[in-house]
Amino acid sequence: MSEESIIYVGNKPVMNYVLAVVTQMNNGAEEVTIKARGRAISRAVDVAEIVRNRFVPDIDVDNIDICTEEIVGNDGLTTNVSTIEINLKKDS
Amino acid sequence: MSEESIIYVGNKPVMNYVLAVVTQMNNGAEEVTIKARGRAISRAVDVAEIVRNRFVPDIDVDNIDICTEEIVGNDGLTTNVSTIEINLKKDS
């Protein structure tokens, strides 16, 4: 069984992603990484905070990384988009 | 002279905040903290990434914190809002 799971946060309601993270935790994952880019970054932070404060008290933010990705559009132009990775880990 | 400066990111264009951070750095600040909450969180990450990649190469993300704040509205109801603090530091 994988010890680390990744949840990609997009444009769905926040609680969909919260449920996904909580499910991974209940299935035995020790770590969950929440990834998002662009405007979904705010939602990713909401997901981490809601999981931590309301659903899984014995979890903590282990690390947060921000980064830039180049996206090539259909017209061949590249645009930069910011990304975030929030690593949640069970207290040991 | 203060060694740490705080820039609050809101709803203005990203480059306004980028300019504010770069100005602080050029005035001798060793550290700049970028703070935002709610939807402005994505913009705060953009500001940090643009400063780092385009304007101040000798700067690095030192630490990122996420948190939840309670906001009391005019109707007396409290709502939770996520916040982010991105600490940028000059390479030593």
pTM attached to this predicted model: 0.91
State the total domains in chain B.
1
Instruction: State mean pLDDT over A76-86.
Output: 95
| Angstroms from A75 CA to nearest CA on chain B | 23
Q: Which of B86, B9, B42, B84 is nearest to A49 (CA)?
A: B84
Instruction: Give the C-alpha separation, B47 to B63, whole Å.
Output: 15
Pairwise CB contact (< 8 Å): A42 & B41: yes
Residue A1: what pLDDT? 46
Backbone phi, psi, residue B46, to 5°: -55, -45
- B22: tokens are 């770069």
The pLDDT tens digits for B28-62 are 899 999 999 999 999 999 999 999 999 998 999 99
Name the residue range of residue A56's domain.
4-90
Q: At what angle do helices B40-50 and A40-50 cross, to 10 degrees?
A: 120
Backbone phi, psi, residue B52, to 5°: -70, -45
Residue B92: what pLDDT? 72
- A87: tokens are 């690593």
Instruction: State mean pLDDT over A34-54.
Output: 96
A51 touches chain B (CB under 8 A): no
The interface predicted TM-score (ipTM) is: 0.89
Task: Indicate the residue of B42, B68, B86 with minimum beta-carbon distance to A42.
Answer: B42
Task: Indicate the residue of A41, A48, A49 with minimum beta-carbon distance to B45.
Answer: A41
CATH classification at residue A60: 3.30.110.20
> How does residue A11 score in pLDDT terms, banded at 50, 70 and 90?
very high
**Does residue B15 surpass a pLDDT of 80?**
yes
Strands of the B78-90 sheet, one edge to the other? B4-8, B31-37, B78-90, B59-72
